[in-house]
Chain A
Amino acid sequence: MFEVSKDEIRYRPRPSPLPAWRAWSSRYHTYLLAPLTLIGMVALWAWLVEWRAYPPFILPSPALVWRKFLSMAAGSLWLHVGVTLMEIALGLVIGLSAAFVLGYLLGKHRSLERIAAPYIVASQSIPVVAIAPLIVIWMGSGLVSKVAVTALITFFPTLVATIVGVRSVDPDLRDLMRSLRATRGQMFWKLELPAALPMILGGLKLSATLAVVGAVVGEFMGATAGLGYLINLGRGVLDTPMIFVAIFMLVLIAQALYVAVLWLEARLLHWQR
């Protein structure tokens, strides 16, 4: 029978003990530091407005922005949030699907990548803001053009991550699967996908936050609703508090998307920690 000796079990060195306050802060600072920083920054902002006595259209006070938020929340704010969310969601679905499929193909076939790479790089060297007007001309100023801009901007990070991920599959594991006579489908579901997942999720993190940028850029090109539209509207009538509210909503959406990817990572990559 096989026996495992004690010395065969690998011990990972434990971190050396920290002083008491360091131990405390290392345990709790992740939970406390973020809210504390936020409170500090809002306080600084309030004090700045007070001190320099800026008029609200230059820099509104936090209290004024909060009141504006409450009045907008009672009105059409959630409609605009919903429109932007819809654009982001559709853009992500389309952009990411395209990135997965193309990334997998390009990752598997080097010759294909050699053909496609120059065009992909070229498309990325142009800022999306520069292409957005073209997209509006071609697709109109409705939902479709916003979704297209969002899809375009989310596409690239996940594409590159997928290519790198598919390339990173251990050739020894490929041999193993071949020696077991795995089918193409099994090769994909049981080897390629799980092996590439850490990289893909890394790309997804970038794409998720860029999606917000895409939707706003799309809305700037002409829209009748959405948070980007609110910002444009606020600029036109010098309603700076409204601009602030819209920006904060965008920040919240981006944060939520980022946290969602982190959650996915924790669920799918628990074997890494």
Chain B
Amino acid sequence: MAVFVAEQISKRFVDGPRPLQALLPVSFEVEAGEIVCLVGPSGSGKSTLLRIMGGLIEPDSGAMWFEGELHHAPNTAIGFVFQKTNLMPWRTVLQNVLLPIEIQHKKVTDADRAHAEALLATMGLKEFEHAYPRQLSGGMNQRVVLARTLMQRPRLLLMDEPFGQLDALTRERLNLELLRLQAAQKITIFMVTHSIPEAVLLADRIFVLSERPGRLIAQVAVSLPRPRTLAMMGAPAFGEIAMQVRRWIGETPDFDDSTQNSRAVETLD
């Protein structure tokens, strides 16, 4: 069953110095429990699409359905993890994780607190509950963000290069942890990433967005078995899928002549 359906979503920004077509009409479905990774050249509207899906910005056209219902505003069943760690510096780790509960239920019960503590324990942050974000490393803070997002018990997780600012090793480890968490909690994940290998490692399907204005040019199925391991990255099948995605990105019209392409778009009025 499709948990999320997008029909002909498009977005054009008119606030800037020149109007900018960020996204041409895009349609897709995300199945329950699957991981979809969205890749594409920078500026192709990946983040814009994600923010539209989260209800943070309104599309110019099209409609979306979340769990069968028309969807156009933020929904607490949809969790968001942004690229930049967005913790409140004046709250301790535990207080940050409890924020979604405070916002939604006004009151924090002992059960909520126990849940938050358990989540932090699974993240390996047990001793850091009362630390402030400033005192932790980037990787640890991004785990706090993940714990906070899980605290709202999301059924769909939208992730915008969640580990993009971390070093390669931490990033790999967090990706594997995320896979384990996703399998255990049956969350649907829609993740934007820059890295094709990361997309192949995580995803059931990889969506490829074209150069701006973004169009959905391919949906590549990743047929690797689960659970995924880092060892799979050496397998021939892994390389083939990565190559296939790379070819799609390469086949974007005017990929080599992107300046001319974007100029053509900007004068379109």
Chain A residues close to B by CB (< 8 Å): 1-4, 8-10, 170, 172-173, 175-182, 186, 190-191, 194-195, 197, 269, 271-272
Residues of B within 8 A of A197 (CB): 90
Sampled A-B contacts (5; CB under 8 Å): A2-B122, A178-B74, A179-B80, A180-B99, A190-B102
Measured in the bound complex, the distance between the Cα atoms of B56 and A178 in whole Å is: 7
Stretch at the interface among B133-141, B201-209, B224-232: B133-141
Measured in the bound complex, the distance between the Cα atoms of B86 and A175 in whole Å is: 9
Extra contacts, 20 of them, besides A170-B86, A197-B90 (Cβ < 8 A), are A1-B177, A2-B122, A2-B124, A2-B177, A4-B140, A8-B137, A172-B82, A172-B84, A173-B86, A175-B82, A176-B80, A176-B82, A179-B78, A179-B80, A180-B99, A180-B152, A181-B76, A181-B104, A194-B90, A271-B90
Minimum Cβ distance to chain A for residue B32 (Å): 21
Residues of B within 8 A of A175 (CB): 51, 56, 80, 82, 86
A271 touches B80 (CB 8 A): no
Minimum Cβ distance to chain B for residue A176 (Å): 5
Measured in the bound complex, the distance between the Cα atoms of B51 and A178 in whole Å is: 11
B124 touches A173 (CB 8 A): no
Measured in the bound complex, the distance between the Cα atoms of B246 and A32 in whole Å is: 69
Given A2-B122, A8-B139, A194-B90, do A180 and B82 touch, yes or no (CB 8 Å)?
A: no
Measured in the bound complex, the distance between the Cα atoms of B103 and A180 in whole Å is: 7
Residues of A within 8 A of B91 (CB): 271
Partner of A10, one of B73, B82, B84, B136: B136
B122 touches A186 (CB 8 A): no
B162: Cβ under 8 A from any A Cβ: no
A190 touches B137 (CB 8 A): no
Partner of B137, one of A3, A9, A176, A178: A9
Which 5 residue pairs spanning A and B have beta carbons closest together? A2-B124, A172-B86, A2-B123, A4-B124, A180-B103
Minimum Cβ distance to chain B for residue A28 (Å): 28
Measured in the bound complex, the distance between the Cα atoms of B139 and A8 in whole Å is: 7
Measured in the bound complex, the distance between the Cα atoms of B132 and A271 in whole Å is: 7
A271 touches B89 (CB 8 A): yes
Measured in the bound complex, the distance between the Cα atoms of B104 and A18 in whole Å is: 51
B55: Cβ under 8 A from any A Cβ: yes
Measured in the bound complex, the distance between the Cα atoms of B91 and A4 in whole Å is: 21
Count of chain B residues with Cβ under 8 Å from any Cβ of A?
41
Can you name the residue of chain B whose Cβ is closest to the Cβ of A172?
B86
Measured in the bound complex, the distance between the Cα atoms of B80 and A218 in whole Å is: 55
B244: Cβ under 8 A from any A Cβ: no
Residues of A within 8 A of B82 (CB): 172, 175-176
Measured in the bound complex, the distance between the Cα atoms of B135 and A8 in whole Å is: 11
B88: Cβ under 8 A from any A Cβ: yes
Among A4, A197, A269, the one with the most B-chain Cβ atoms within 10 Å of its Cβ is A4
Residues of A within 8 A of B122 (CB): 1-2
Minimum Cβ distance to chain A for residue B125 (Å): 7
B61: Cβ under 8 A from any A Cβ: no
Residues of A within 8 A of B99 (CB): 180, 190
Minimum Cβ distance to chain A for residue B218 (Å): 29
Residues of B within 8 A of A191 (CB): 88
Minimum Cβ distance to chain A for residue B98 (Å): 11
B140 touches A8 (CB 8 A): yes
Minimum Cβ distance to chain B for residue A245 (Å): 43
B59: Cβ under 8 A from any A Cβ: no
Minimum Cβ distance to chain A for residue B75 (Å): 8
B170: Cβ under 8 A from any A Cβ: yes
CB within 8 Å of A: which B77-135 residues: 78-80, 82, 84, 86, 88-92, 99-100, 102-104, 122-125, 128, 132, 134-135
B100 touches A180 (CB 8 A): yes
Minimum Cβ distance to chain A for residue B198 (Å): 18
Partner of B140, one of A9, A178, A271: A9
Residues of B within 8 A of A181 (CB): 73-76, 103-104
Given A9-B140, A173-B86, A194-B90, do A179 and B74 touch, yes or no (CB 8 Å)?
A: yes
Can you name the residue of chain A whose Cβ is closest to the Cβ of B145?
A176
Minimum Cβ distance to chain A for residue B152 (Å): 7
B74 touches A180 (CB 8 A): yes
Residues of B within 8 A of A194 (CB): 88, 90
Residues of A within 8 A of B174 (CB): 2
Measured in the bound complex, the distance between the Cα atoms of B89 and A272 in whole Å is: 8
B143: Cβ under 8 A from any A Cβ: yes
Q: Encode contact with A along B33-53: 1 for CB under 8 Å, 0 otherwise.
A: 000000000000000000100
